[in-house]
Amino acid sequence: MTPARLAVFLLLLCAAAAWQVTQIPQSSLQSAVGPVLVPALVVGGLGVLALVYGASALRGRQPDESHVAGQEALPGANTRLLSLLGGGLAFGLLVGWIGFVVPATLCGMGVARAFDAPLGWRSAAVCGAVALSFWLVFALWLGVGLGPALRWPGAAA
C-alpha cells in the first residue's frame, strides 16, 4: 500500500470514527463535559494527523518501505485482514439485534484469528469471557449504555 493510499484509508477511518462519535447518546446529567468531548477530541486529533500525513505523502516525503527487501507481506495477509474486518463488521451489524456479548465474542474471535489464533471452543470461551467481563464492568458497574448483554430476536426491547 502506497503512503497516499494509506492516507486516504486513514481519512476514511477518521470519517467513520467521527460518525460514531455523533451516535454517542447524551448524558442525562447536566454537565459542561459530556460523554462526547473526549472521543471527539481524539478523533479530531487523529483526523488532523491523517491530513498532515496525507499532505506529506502527496509531496513524496513519506518513504514506502513495502518495496524494501525483507518487508514482504507474510503469507495469508489477506485472510488476516478479512478476519479482522469481518469481526468488526459482525459486531457492528449484530450488536443492535442480539445484544453485546455474542457480537463482541465474534469480534474478538475475528481479531484473534487475524493474529493466527486457531478458531475453536477455546477462542470462543476466552473471547466470550472477555466480552462478558467488559459488559459487566462498563454496563452494570459504570452505567455505560451498552445495551443488554443478550437480546433474543422478537423479544420486547
pLDDT tens for 95-116 read 988 999 999 999 999 999 999 9
Q: What is the average pLDDT score of the chain?
A: 88
Let me know whether 80 and 144 are in one domain.
yes
Task: Count structural domains, the chain.
Answer: 2
Say if residue 82 is in the same domain as residue 111.
yes
Rounded mean pLDDT, 66-77: 82
Note whether 87 and 119 are same-domain residues.
yes
Whether residue 109 is found in the same domain as residue 130: yes
Domain with 54 in it: 1-26+35-72
- Kindly report, residue by residue over 146-155, the tens digit of the pLDDT: 888 888 766 5
Q: What is the per-residue pLDDT for 55?
A: 95
For residues 84 and 152, membership in a common domain is answered with: yes
CA 88 – CA 136 distance, rounded (Å): 21
Do residues 62 and 98 both lie within one domain? no
103 shares a domain with 42: no
Q: How far apart are CA 143 and CA 89, in angstroms?
A: 25
User: CA quadruple 96, 102, 105, 107: dihedral positive or negative?
Assistant: negative
- Grid coordinates representing 29 are 446529567
Phi/psi-derived region of residue 30, left when phi > 0, alpha when psi is between -120 and 50, beta in every other case: beta
